[in-house]
Every structure is written in C-alpha cells, then in structure tokens.
Chain A
Amino acid sequence: MNLFSKIKNVQIKKDRQALISLVLNLSLLFLTIYPFLLPQKANATVTEAFVRFDRHATGAAISGTACLKSTLTTQTNVVLVFPLDWTISQTAGNWTVTTTNLPTDPVGGAAATAWPGIGTATSVTGVNVQFPGSALVAATFYCFNFAGASSTIGAAGNDKVGQLKTQGGSPYTDSVDWATSVVASGADQITVSASVSATMTFSLSGTTAALGTLSTSSVTSATAVTQTVSTNARNGWTSWVKGTQGTTTVGALHSTVANADINAPAAHPTVSDLSSTTGYVLDVNAGTGTPTINTAYNGSGDTNNGGATTTLFRETATKTTPGSGDTVDLRVRAKIASTQAAASDYSDTLTIVAAGSF
C-alpha cells in the first residue's frame, strides 16, 4: 500500500514518463543480463586441444602445430600464449602459418581440418601472438602450423605452460591451458649412423674359347665367355682385358709349332670387320645391367667385327653405378689368309680383370 501511495503522488508528465521509462527499461535489461556478465571461471567447451612444437630443445626456433576441437563455433581470432621465458618476436609479420601436413586427431584418428581463415599474425603483445581466424564447426578437429622468425624456445625445464585461446563474441570463446617440456640442446634428437662395406664379385663363365679350324673364307667365332660383375662401388666398375701374344697395340694368336702369328688386322683401338680382311679380334657385347662397351671392342652386334687385344690391359666395359650381376660377353673371332702357316696350336691367353670405383 505504501508503495502505491507513493506512486499516486508522482506527477507524471510526458517527458518525465519517457525518461523514467528509459531508465527502468535499462535497469530491467541490466538485471536480466546481469548473471551473464559474471565472469565465467572456465569453460568446458574445448574437448581437445594441443600445441605441439617441432623441437623441445632450448634455443631452438619456435615452430609447431596448434589444434583445437570445441563445441563452440563463434571464433574470430586465435591467440597463442607462449611461456613467459621464451623469446617471442614482437613483429606480427614474423609469425607465419601453413595448413599442410597436419596431424590426425588423437581421438579417433581422423584427419585434421585446416583452420579456416588462419593467416599471418595480426598482433603480438608480450608472449601473446594473435592470428586471424574464422568461424569453426563444432566438434571438428582443426589445426594449423605456425612458425615464428627470430623467436626461440626458452630455458630447459618441464611444465612450461601456455594457452591456446580463441576470440569470438566474448573476450575469449575458448581458452585452454597447455604445457610442454623444454630439454637441453640436442636432447630431443638422436643421430643415427650406419655403414656399408665395399663389395665386389667377379666371375667368368668359362676359361677356354675354342676357335677350331680357321677358315680363309669365313669368320670363325668362339663361344662367348660371360663376365659377371657385382659391386656396391658407388662409381660403378670397369673391366679390362690383355693377351699374352702380340704387341702392346696388336695382339695375336701364336703358334709355337709354326712359329707364326695370326695378328689383329688393325692396332688397338680400331675395330675391324673380318668379313673383308683377316686376323684375330675380340668382340665384346653388353649383357645385363647395361654396362657401356668400350669402342675399341664394340662390334656393334656385327658377327664379323672386333678389336685388337694387346699385351697391355685395355678397357672392355664400364658402368658408373653399382652393379648386381652385370654381364658382358667376350667373344674371340678369327679368319686366316690362304698363306697362314698350318698348325694346330695357335693360341692366346686373355686375362680379364674388373675393379670397382668406390
């Protein structure tokens, strides 16, 4: 009753009514929203969040990945708060981001979604670095990579704490504390070493090459002897051949009985075609492993061609990379003139060697 008594005595005028009405409405609005103005002590909207740094070592450059899964969507900025004793570049432009090679969600293993709207930092205040961002979808695992030029991890120690915050309609939509560990320089890395020893294997498929009775009209070729080389020499291998008969430039088949030679038609390194001449030659052809045949013995597939063996080692084939079971076929050929002394002991001994280039 008292209250109404007071009200009845109020002299209400149009202007005063409007003023009072405004004040009361504002009061009503304030009282209505007052509970929501109370500072929230914490929120429980972040279901997952982590900040993973690319290094744990003191003094290392700061870079890493920040991830968040929240039930809220009104996010506009992202703020990374680093430990207080870290060196943080105060130049916003030094804080760059990427969204490639993001981690998977530790809960469920789904691929992370690139943080929408993320970009180079827009401001830095102390150890707070603010990046732009845009609205998120609730319950989605978002990540972005960050790197801070001229920024380094602080002193070694465990439980170095920081925060990952998002800004939206209120000062912070989400805020989650994290911790990381800083270890001594190099204490987060392991140098792994190993060695591989040099290897080399070499073999010939046979040790004889019988030419039989030589002809004055056709070229006689022996069965090929296959040379096989395996080596892990990083620069590959090379093989050579030398004979025991002839000279340092012209090899020969020698007969002790006839004391005669069947010489190569041309001195090393010329390749001869026995279809138009006579003599004794060696033809080399590549097998497996694609070795390169030396031009001095490369008959180019012609069954009449070949080069002169000599009493010096001459290169037959080479390869510039390690080989496994690389093969080369060595085939001797001969054709005699009608005046060639008869004998059955024409022979030569070829020595074939190979070496790896380590």
Chain B
Amino acid sequence: MKKLKFEKLDLKFIISLNLIFILLFSQNAFAGPQSTTYEMKDYTFGAGGNEQGGSDSTSYTLFGTVGELEYDKLNSSSYSLGGGLSYTLKANVPAAPTVTNVSSWYNKLKVTIDNGSNPSDATFLIQVASGSADFSQDTYFVQTDNTLGANQTWQTYTSWGGASGFTLIGLFPGTTYYVRVAAERGNFTQSEYSTAGSAATISPSLTLSLRTTSQPSPPFSVNIGNLTAGAITTSSDTIDITISTNATNGGLIYLFGTNNGLKSTTAGNYNITSSSTDLTAALEGYGARGTTVTQTSGGPMQLISPYNGASQNVGIIDTAKRTLADSTSSPVTNGQVSFELKAKAKSTTPQAGDYSDILTLLATGSF
C-alpha cells in the first residue's frame, strides 16, 4: 500500500469529508460490528444475566444472552421475542401511547406514554406522523417544549409527564396524528418503536345564535315601551346570545349600537344618550345590563364590566364594539348570555314614538 498523500489534499476537503462520514455513519448508530464488506447482524458471547436484571456492580455490567433464537419467528401482533446480545441490551418496548383529543381541540392533543416497565432513568423518544399510519411520511419528533420538530428528543418518562401525560401543541386542525414511542437506557439500547396510538384534531369552530324572550327567529326587535319622565323602564324581553367555540383562548361576545343612544327622527334626531351609569341617579339614559350567564360545559361565561352591574346600573351602547361577555379564556359549549335594556327619560325628553337603536351582536373565538 502506498501512503496516502494527504499533503496534496487541502484542509477544507479533509474536513468536509470527515464531516460527511460522521453524518452518514451516525445514521447507522445501532448497527452491529462491521467491516467494509460485512456486518455481524447477530452475535453474542457470555451467558446469563442482563442489564435490567441487576447483574451489574458499580463498575461493571454483565450482559448475557438467553440463547440464540431465530429473529423473525417469535412474533405476534403484540409481542416479539428477539435473540442475541442486541436484544438483551435493548430497553423494553413501551406499550402504545394513549393519544386523546380531550375537548374538541383543534391544535393540540393529549399524549400519555407507557414506560414499558423500564427503569426510571430510561429515556423515551416520541415520534409523530401526520400523513400516514405507517410513519412513512410527515414524521416528526416531540420536542422538549411539546411541539413537533425534526430533532430526536429523549426524555425520561417523568419528563414526558408520567402517568398524567402532556399536551402536544402546535398541531394543525382536522388532522389525524399517529404517535409511537421508543425507549433506551444508555448507548446501543434503543428499543423498537411501540405500536402507535392516534387521535385527530378537529377544525376550529364557532357557532352563534341570537333570540329574544318572545322571538326565536329573526327579525328581532325589543320594545322598551313608553318612557315616563323620571322613571326607569326595563324591556320586558331579554336578549339571549349563545356561542360555542373550541378556541383555545375562549369566545368573546361584543355589542354595539348605531345611534349612541335611542334616537328619534321625528323629534329632530333627539338622542337619549347611552352611557355607563346608574340610571337611578341619572336624569336620562339608556343602556344594557347583563342578567344571566350559563353554559353546558367549558367556560364559564362571564359578564364584562360595565355590563355586569346590579339593579339599575347599565353599560353603554354606542358605536364602539364593546365586550359584553366572554368565556374566561376557555373553550365553551352553549355559553349563553342574557341581557336586558333599560331607559329613562327626563321631563324635557321630547315626545316621540320613534325612539330607536339597532344593536349588533358579534362573537369571535380567540384561537
């Protein structure tokens, strides 16, 4: 053999080549002893004991085999019994992880892995596929921040949330995710992947419905009635708005009017101006007051100030979109808010039969 003339190779060439080899060989970290021509796929020595059986001391670990068993024949749909040293070294294969869409989630899933009776210092790798149940495409690994990424991230069972699991976040809506787990304890001990668990995110949702006490369907109108100077008049009908959303940050209900008050065209566009006030003390006014909030689940719904006042305290109804209620930053099902309208005229409030306003109710989910 002639000596390789390294002096003729430039430094960049050598470095690049070495790094290529490192990257390429790292893909085959768990291969057996090998030469350029051969690889020992199955090999053994010694007998008795195994890493997890406690046959070790503070300085040494004795690995052994339970016999040479034909690799492919001792398999069932749930179990496989491997032979040789590599199987002895491997961590136990965890059971399939539990993957759950807890509550109509559209961008996250709950994952609870099984530790496969591995020691507490065993670490686990969680692989996720969104495109295929056989993990042939769109595969990722769960990262330490519970998002999906390309880096293989090994953590202990405890770090993955233990029996309580963790929430896998940053997912796409309306997508089925398949999750499987591998375990390892030290070098050259990575187990096969578990069978996969799966669940699907759903699409983001928002439903809205509106009605009044006496009108289940549009067009909706509420007549506060005849206003007597100095007296507070409350609408006999309440307005009920119901929302459901799976938005992570909950649903919000907004209210706005068109006139900044109750306006009369015939009275020369006179306006009973709306403001957030206690009508008891006000000479004149108009506004809304929330009366009840309910929900089937989630939330809970809550009235937002100034619409949560007691007695004759009302919140302003103007052209600004104001938050009437929300679901306390949580998804909600059938979150309903009811509110009433109150008005008060003073002695000089012009007589007219056409005081009116148009309320618009909006809902949105904070996704």
Number of A-B contacts (CB under 8 A): 283
Contact of B16 among A28, A41, A178, A230 (CB under 8 A): A28
Report how many residues on chain A are interfacial, defined by Cβ distance under 8 Å.
77
Q: Does the CB pair B210–A179 fall under 8 Å?
A: no
The answer to whether the Cβ of A188 comes within 8 Å of any Cβ in the partner chain is yes
What 1/0 flags go to A34-57 for Cβ under 8 Å of B? 011011111110101111111110
Interface contact B361-A190, CB-CB below 8 Å = yes
Write out the residue numbers on chain B whose beta carbons fall within 8 Å of the beta carbon of A32: 23
Chain A 315-326 interface 0/1 with B at a Cβ cutoff of 8 Å (1 = within)? 000000111100
Is the CB–CB distance between B347 and A195 below 8 Å? no
Which residue in chain A gives the minimum CB-CB distance to B220? A190
- In the bound complex, residues from chain B placing their C-beta under 8 Å from that of A187 are 210, 217-218, 220
B250 pairs with A194, CB closer than 8 A: no
A8 and B5 contacting across the interface, CB-CB below 8 Å: yes
Residues of B within 8 A of A190 (CB): 210, 212, 220-222, 239, 358-359, 361
User: Counting CB contacts under 8 A, is B153 at the interface?
Assistant: no
**Which of A41, A43, A161, A185 has most chain B Cβ within 10 Å?**
A41
Residues on B with C-beta less than 8 A from A43 are: 147, 170
B16 and A21 contacting across the interface, CB-CB below 8 Å: yes
Residue in A20, A38, A51, A196 whose beta carbon sits within 8 Å of that of B13 in the complex:
A20
A179 and B206 contacting across the interface, CB-CB below 8 Å: yes
Which residues 163-222 of A sit at the B interface, judged by CB distance below 8 A?
A: 176-181, 183-199
For residue A108, which residue of chain B has the nearest CB? B329
A24 near B16: Cβ-Cβ < 8 Å: yes
Do residues B208 and A181 form an inter-chain contact, with CB atoms below 8 A? Answer: yes
Q: Are A21 and B13 in contact (CB under 8 A)?
A: yes
> In the assembly, what is the distance between CA of A25 and CA of B229, in Å?
87
Would A179 and B224 count as touching, CB distance under 8 A? no
Contact status B12-A197, CB under 8 Å: no
User: Which residue of chain B has the shortest Cβ distance to A180 in the bound complex?
Assistant: B206
Can you give 17 contacting A-B residue pairs, CB < 8 Å? A5-B1, A27-B20, A40-B149, A50-B364, A54-B362, A107-B249, A159-B207, A178-B204, A178-B367, A190-B358, A190-B359, A191-B358, A192-B341, A192-B357, A197-B226, A233-B350, A234-B266
Instruction: Report the 10 A-B pairs with minimum CB-CB distance, sorted nearest first.
Output: A44-B170, A234-B350, A35-B150, A24-B16, A322-B348, A181-B208, A2-B36, A52-B364, A179-B204, A158-B207
